[in-house]
Structure 1
Amino acid sequence: MATALAPRPDPELIPRHVAIIMDGNGRWAKQRHLPRLAGHKAGVEAVRRVTRAARAMGIEALTLYAFSSENWRRPESEVSDLMGLLRLFIRADLAELVRENVRLRIIGDYRRFAPDLVAMVDDAVARTARNTGPILAIALNYGAQAELAAVARRLAERLPPEQIDEAAIEAELETRELPPLDLLIRSSGEQRLSNFLLWQAAYAELLFVDTLWPDFDEAALRDAVDAFGRRQRRYGGL
């Protein structure tokens, strides 16, 4: 007997833009007495599940924190493994993104990566540039403090101080093409933002869940969206 699909959430209660700090790959592997690489591989499978679920729910933009500017501090072998998984993800999933009308965006200074990987990322972005559907934004070598410092430098070169306001900053952010951030999720039970979308999260709903990222799936995303729908967003008002 076929399993009945869960009802789709009320469109009025679905966040337009969801961001996820994908945390817990290492602990997932450790619990299973597996190498950390196995956890990262399982994490890639979770990315596939969640990106497909987000599209099915009608979420307009999904931003995933894949590699932070602080991740360079990890052992060289682990960084190399992460770069290899990014290559595999692009090779394996780009055709699906093109077919499903997904627009791929990158935030962060990914040009610090190896030249062949930079070329792969550029090609993937270019091949989805004319798509008109949901946005999948991947944060690569991203740090929010560095983003804001760069915005400040650019604006200081062009504008007098009295003209630098919130709108001017918003227009320079790497997320300027995305809808405002509605919901930020962190997996694995940790309760901090870890230098991710600090400006954008000013009025986002924050949700910290105990699920380790490799175990995060459609049901977990649906639970998060349902929790978002139950919250009242006042933006400083009553």
Structure 2
Amino acid sequence: MNHLNHVAIIMDGNGRWGLKHKNSRNAGHKAGLKSVDAIIRESVKNKIKYLTLFAFSTENWKRPKKEINYLFNLLEIFLKDKINALNKQNIKLKIIGIKNFSSRLNKLLVKCENKTKKNKQLQINLALNYGSKSELLNAFKKFRKSKKKLNEENFQNYLQTKDIPDPDILIRTGNTQRLSNFLLWQIAYSEIFFEKKLWPDFNKKDYNRIIKKFKSIKRNFGNV
């Protein structure tokens, strides 16, 4: 039975869910927070140590400004409402990506990271303004200045996930089968599950079904 340490999720389908049910993409983003809550709870129950959520990509800046502003406002509200509860549950929050937002949101993100930095139950890596290609390019620039020997171990120390084990599982909801510039280095040997359900419809039963399936998979890592 495989040990599950790290789950990464591309939370796709919020906008489509909102249009389908409420005729509003923003309504889908709000509904998606319920799935976030449910998956965090189930991750704790399953004793998973790392949960990485793709919340906003470097490409998402192409979306309408009104939708982007709503997303960031929703994030602020979520963090203000939940950070104390997460802290009490011994959950750590880490931001991966470039904190290039409003000064108010940047300060809030740093505050949340500092408040929870000593927690050990579960680490939530929130990918904001994150793109894997940018991460790799920036890592290479920093690595080149170090003049260290080029190998995998040395190079990955310059990634934003340097102290985080690679994901065992990558889940993408929304009936789309692509990686969308997410953790391209880190998911080299992740088991990938593409789910038809839109993110707001993804629930704990779906999550636990995937976990059960993962534990039964024979993982060879190039061996036989």
TM norm structure 1: 0.92
SS at match of 2:4: coil
- 1:43 equivalent to 2:32? Answer yes
User: Equivalences for 1:1-238 in 2 at 5 Å?
Assistant: 12-110=1-99, 112-159=100-147, 163-238=149-224
Q: Deviations over 1:126-145 (max 9, x none)?
A: 00012122101100000000
Distance in 2 between the 1:145 and 1:49 partners?
30
How many residue pairs are counted as aligned between the two chains?
224
Shift of 1:230: 2.2
Q: Is the 8 A contact 1:14 1:58 kept in 2?
A: no
- Tell me the distance in 1 between the aligned counterparts of 2:141 and 2:26: 38
Q: Shift of the alpha carbon at 1:13?
A: 3.5
SS at 1:42's partner residue? helix
User: CA shift at 1:14, angstroms?
Assistant: 4.4
> Percent identical across equivalent pairs?
38
Note the aligned Cα RMSD (angstroms).
1.1
Conserved in 2, the CA contact under 8 Å of 1:184 and 1:204? yes
Aligned partners of 1:33, 1:63: CA distance in 2, in Å? 28
Secondary structure (helix, strand or coil) at the match of 2:93 reads strand
Q: 1: CA distance between counterparts of 2:162 and 2:7?
A: 15
- Please give the secondary structure, in 1, of the residue aligned with 2:188: helix
Post-superposition, which runs of at least 4 consecutive aligned residues in structure 1 deviate over 4 A?
A: none
C-alpha separation in 2, matches of 1:66 and 1:145: 17
Secondary structure of the residue that 2:162 maps to in structure 1? coil
One-letter amino acid of the counterpart of residue 140, structure 1? L
For the residues of structure 1 that align with 2:79 and 2:27, how far apart are their CA atoms? Answer: 18
Which letter maps to 1:155? F
Cα deviation per residue 1:146-174 (whole Å; 9 max; x = unaligned)? 000001000111115xx111001221111
Which letter maps to 1:201?
I
Q: Structure 2-normalised TM-score? A: 0.97
Displacement of 1:52:
1.1
